[in-house]
Amino acid sequence: MIAVTAQGAAFAFPVTEPRPDRPLSIAEVRKELNRLYHDAEVATDAYNAANEKVDKQSRRVTALAEDVAEGEKKLEMLKARAGAAARLQYQSGGLPPEVYLYLSDDPQQDLNDVGVAHQVQEGTTDLLIALTTTQEDLREKSEDASDQLQKLEAGRKAKANAQTEIEERISAAEKLESKLKKEELDRLLAMEQEAGAEAQSAWLSSGILKDIKAEASAQGAKALAYAILQIGKPYEWGAEGPNSYDCSGLTSQAWAAAKRPIPRTSQEQWRQLAHIDIKELRPGDLIIYHRDASHVGMYIGHGSIVHAPRPGRNVTIADAGSMYILGVVRPDK
> Burial of 215 by CB count in 10 Å (0-12 exposed, 13-18 middle, 19+ buried)?
exposed
Q: In whole angstroms, what is the distance from residue 160 CA to residue 53 CA?
A: 13
- 89 falls in which pLDDT band (50, 70, 90)? low
Q: What is the pLDDT of residue 50?
A: 85
Q: What is the pLDDT of residue 330?
A: 97
Q: In whole angstroms, what is the distance from residue 250 CA to residue 265 CA?
A: 10
Q: What is the pLDDT of residue 21?
A: 58
> b/e per residue, 283-293, with b = 16+ CB within 10 A?
bbbbbbbbeeb
Q: What is the pLDDT of residue 332?
A: 94
Rounded to the nearest 10°, the torsion over CA 257, 261, 262, 265 is 70
pLDDT value at 271 more than 90: yes
Q: Which of 38, 118, 275, 295 is catalytic?
A: 295
Task: Give the three-class secondary structure for 258.
Answer: coil
CB 261 within 8 A of CB 255: yes
Q: In whole angstroms, what is the distance from residue 150 CA to residue 145 CA?
A: 9
Q: In whole angstroms, what is the distance from residue 109 CA to residue 114 CA?
A: 9
Q: What is the pLDDT of residue 87?
A: 62
Q: What is the pLDDT of residue 92?
A: 54
295 is catalytic: yes
- 88 falls in which pLDDT band (50, 70, 90)? low
- Give the DSSP letter of residue 78: H
pLDDT value at 104 more than 50: no
Minimum mean pLDDT among 47-56, 127-136, 295-304: which range? 127-136
Minimum mean pLDDT among 80-89, 154-163, 169-178: which range? 80-89
pLDDT mean over 11-26 = 53
> Burial of 194 by CB count in 10 Å (0-12 exposed, 13-18 middle, 19+ buried)?
exposed
CA–CA distances in Å: residue 198 to residues 71, 195, 319, 322: 65, 5, 10, 8
Q: Which residue has the higher pLDDT, 260 or 208?
A: 260
pLDDT mean over 77-102 = 55
Measured in whole angstroms, the distance separating CA 118 from the mean position of its chain's CA atoms is 57
Q: Which of 118, 275, 290, 307 is catalytic?
A: 307
Residues contacting 316, CB < 8 A, separation 6+: 231, 232, 306, 307, 309
Residues contacting 121, CB < 8 A, separation 6+: 97
Residue ranges of E strands in the chain: 2-5, 8-11, 274-276, 286-289, 295-301, 304-307, 316-319, 325-330
Q: What is the pLDDT of residue 100?
A: 43
Q: In whole angstroms, what is the distance from residue 328 CA to residue 313 CA?
A: 24
Q: What is the pLDDT of residue 91?
A: 56
Q: What is the pLDDT of residue 232?
A: 96
- pLDDT > 90 fraction of the chain, expressed in percent and rounded: 35
Most confident of 52-66, 158-172, 199-213, 305-319: 305-319
Q: Which of 38, 118, 247, 302 is catalytic?
A: 247
pLDDT mean over 15-42 = 75
pLDDT value at 182 more than 90: no
Q: What is the pLDDT of residue 214?
A: 82
Q: What is the pLDDT of residue 79?
A: 67
- 156 falls in which pLDDT band (50, 70, 90)? confident
Q: Tell me whether strands 325-330 and 286-289 are parallel, antiparallel or unpaired.
A: antiparallel
Mean pLDDT of the chain: 79
Q: In whole angstroms, what is the distance from residue 176 CA to residue 73 CA?
A: 61
Q: Which residue has the higher pLDDT, 58 or 236?
A: 236
